[in-house]
Amino acid sequence: MGNQCNHVEINDNEFKSVQIEDDSDSFLIQKFDPKINLLKNSDLKNIQSLDSLNSTKTQFHDKVKKVPFNVKLHRKRTLHYESIHDSQAQSPTNQVSEYFEYPNGVYQGYLVDGKREGQGQFFYHDGSYFKGDWKNDMANGFGKIKFQEGEQYEGEFLNDQQHGFGKYISNQLKYEGQWKENLPCGNGIEIYNKYYIYEGEFQNGLKHGKGKIQWYKDDSRYEGEFCENQLNGKGIYYFGDKEIYEGQFKDGKMHGYGKFEWPNGKIYEGNYYLGRKQGFGKFTAPDRIYTGEWYDGVYHGYGKLENKDKVIEGYWVNGVFQK
């Protein structure tokens, strides 16, 4: 993608109708928005959860399955199930007597004083299962839960919650990193299939803090600060066609002070407002330099334009010099 930037046109009639317009902001907005919206909307909104999802906001933590272990022992029975212990995997009809029926499934493993303790596995009525460590009748330690739809989590648990280090895998998403109370929290890597890979900090299931993200489609990438799944704060954005923006961001847009460089040598350094050049800034190109005020991506207000032949200084309105 190249930018669409008109050259300076200086009329000899006392500069009465000098119109300078740099359309690069327009193409930048087109390039930015699809990617930034992905961060807000990508996180597996079609994933089924064991918990009912009331929120319409699509976030990663809304879709991660929580482990429903808070059930009481109902009664002991001898059942015939295929054991998933490695030592018994060869015998699908193996009889195991340590099975206990619960309202939402069947537990096979050890009990101490009527509570699940040590190694055990739980078969849910919907076809999901958990296998791992138990303590005080709750999942504690290392374990693996696989859901009926194919999603799975493998890692550490604390009091029935995904907590510590763990891996979550689904059709579209892979996450590996730190968890806190069922949510990605701390450092982690998120891979969203066919779209991007993110490595950095998470908080409450959202990209939050310092991180870096790379989009597969055009090889563009961003390194810097995030806030609740948005590019927010200071960062560097490398476009796939070699343009670079370094500066401040707000809600996924260039906002505040920044510097934009094109591969053909053009440079803008100054203020941005929600993705457009606005405020005071300096635009340098091989054939001209403009220093002054901007509005909505064009020269607007007081400014000075210089080229190798002439200098004009005064007021501009929507890119047009006013005599």
Contacts 24+ apart (CB under 8 A), 241-246: 241/1, 241/2, 243/3
- Tokens encoding 64: 């991660």
Rounded-to-integer distance, Cα 288 and Cα 316, Å = 16
- 9-27 tens-digit pLDDT: 333 333 333 334 444 565 5
CA 300, distance to chain mean position in Å, is 36
pLDDT on residue 3: 37
**Domains detected in the chain:** 1-39+239-323 (2.20.110)
- 121-180 tens-digit pLDDT: 989 888 888 999 999 988 999 999 998 888 899 999 998 888 999 999 988 889 999 999
Contact (Cβ atoms closer than 8 angstroms) between residue 263 and residue 2: no
Question: What is the bridge-based pairing of β-strands 129-135 and 320-322?
Answer: unpaired
Point out which residues pair with 109 in neighbouring strands: 120
**Integer-rounded Cα radius of gyration of the chain:** 29
Rounded-to-integer distance, Cα 94 and Cα 80, Å = 7
pLDDT on residue 212: 98
Residue 154, CB half-sphere, CA atoms under 13 Å: how many? 6
- Tokens encoding 161: 């919650």
- 198-246 tens-digit pLDDT: 999 999 889 999 999 999 988 899 999 999 999 999 999 999 888 999 9
Check residue 5 and report its DSSP letter: B
Rounded-to-integer distance, Cα 312 and Cα 323, Å = 10
Rounded-to-integer distance, Cα 218 and Cα 239, Å = 8
pLDDT on residue 36: 63
| Mean pLDDT value across residues 77-102 | 43
How wide is the angle at C-alpha 170 spanned by C-alphas 138 and 228, nearest 5°? 85
**Per residue in 46-65, is it b (16+ CB within 10 Å) or e — as a string?**
ebeeeeeeeeeebbbbbbbb
Contact (Cβ atoms closer than 8 angstroms) between residue 162 and residue 155: yes
Q: What is the CB neighbour count within 10 angstroms for residue 256? A: 15
